[in-house]
Amino acid sequence: MASLDDLKKRIASVKSTQKITKAMKMVAAAKLRRAQESAEKGRPYSEKMNNVILNLSNGISDKENAPKLLSGTGQEKTHLCVVMTSDRGLCGGFNSNIIKKAKSYFAKILDEGKELKIITVGSKGNDQLKRVYGDKIIENISFKESKNANYFDADKVGKMVIEKFEAGEFDVCTIFYNQFKNVITQIPQAQQIIPLNNEGEESSSEESYEFEPDEDEILSNLLPKNISTQIFKAMLENSASEQGSRMSAMDNATRNAGEMVDKLTIEYNRSRQAAITKELIEIISGAESL
Amino acid sequence: MSEEFKVEIVNPEKSFLMKDDVSEVVVPAFEGEMGILKDHISIISFLKPGIIKILSKSGDENYYVEDGIVEFKNNNLSILTSTIFNLADMDKSKQQYLLKQAEEEANKININDQSKYLADQKVEVLKTLN
* pLDDT tens digits along B99-108: 888 888 888 8
Chain B residues touching A157 at Cβ < 8 A = none
pTM: 0.85
Per-residue confidence (pLDDT) for residue A64, from 0 to 100: 63
Whether residue B85 has pLDDT greater than 90: no
Taking the C-alpha atoms of residue A60 and residue A56, their distance in angstroms, rounded to an integer, is 6
Per-residue confidence (pLDDT) for residue A201, from 0 to 100: 56
DSSP for A214-263, written as a single string: -HHHHHHHHHHHHHHHHHHHHHHHHHHHHHHHHHHHHHHHHHHHHHHHHH
Contact B44 A221 (CB under 8 A): no
% pLDDT > 70, chain A: 93
Chain B residues touching A222 at Cβ < 8 A = 46, 69
Per-residue confidence (pLDDT) for residue A275, from 0 to 100: 92
Average pLDDT over residues A248-276: 95
pLDDT per residue as tens digits for the range A4-26: 899 999 999 999 999 999 999 99
Q: Are residues B107 and B123 in contact, defined by beta-carbon separation less than 8 angstroms?
A: no
Count of Cβ atoms closer than 10 Å to residue A267 Cβ? 16
User: What mean pLDDT, rounded, does chain A reach?
Assistant: 87
B5-86 has CATH 3.40.190.10 classification = no
The residue among B26 and A72 whose pLDDT is bigger is B26
| Every domain of chain B and the residues it spans | 5-86, 91-128
Whether residue A204 has pLDDT greater than 70: no
Average pLDDT over residues A34-42: 87
Name the CATH superfamily, with its identifier, for domain A49-249: ATP synthase, F1 complex, gamma subunit (3.40.1380.10)
The answer to whether A205 contacts chain B (CB < 8 Å) is yes
Nearest-Cα distance to chain A for B127, in Å, is: 24
Residue tagged active-site, from A70, A84, A91, A173: A91
Chain B residues touching A48 at Cβ < 8 A = 10, 71, 78, 80
Contact B44 A209 (CB under 8 A): yes
Confidence of residue B130 (pLDDT cuts 50, 70, 90): low
| Every domain of chain A and the residues it spans | 49-249
Q: Are residues A193 and A171 in contact, defined by beta-carbon separation less than 8 angstroms?
A: no
Average pLDDT over residues A151-180: 89
Is residue A91 part of the annotated active site? The answer reads yes
Tell me phi and psi for residue A164, to 5 degrees.
Answer: -65, -35
Which of B13, B16, B33, B117 to mutate to probe the A interface, most A CBs <10 Å? Answer: B13
Per-residue confidence (pLDDT) for residue A41, from 0 to 100: 86
The answer to whether A109 contacts chain B (CB < 8 Å) is no
Per-residue confidence (pLDDT) for residue A63, from 0 to 100: 62
Per-residue confidence (pLDDT) for residue A282, from 0 to 100: 95
Whether residue A60 has pLDDT greater than 70: no
Nearest-Cα distance to chain A for B44, in Å, is: 5
Query: Torsion-angle region of residue A84: left (phi > 0), alpha (psi -120 to 50) or beta?
Result: beta
Average pLDDT over residues A247-254: 94
Nearest-Cα distance to chain A for B80, in Å, is: 7
Whether residue A237 has pLDDT greater than 60: yes
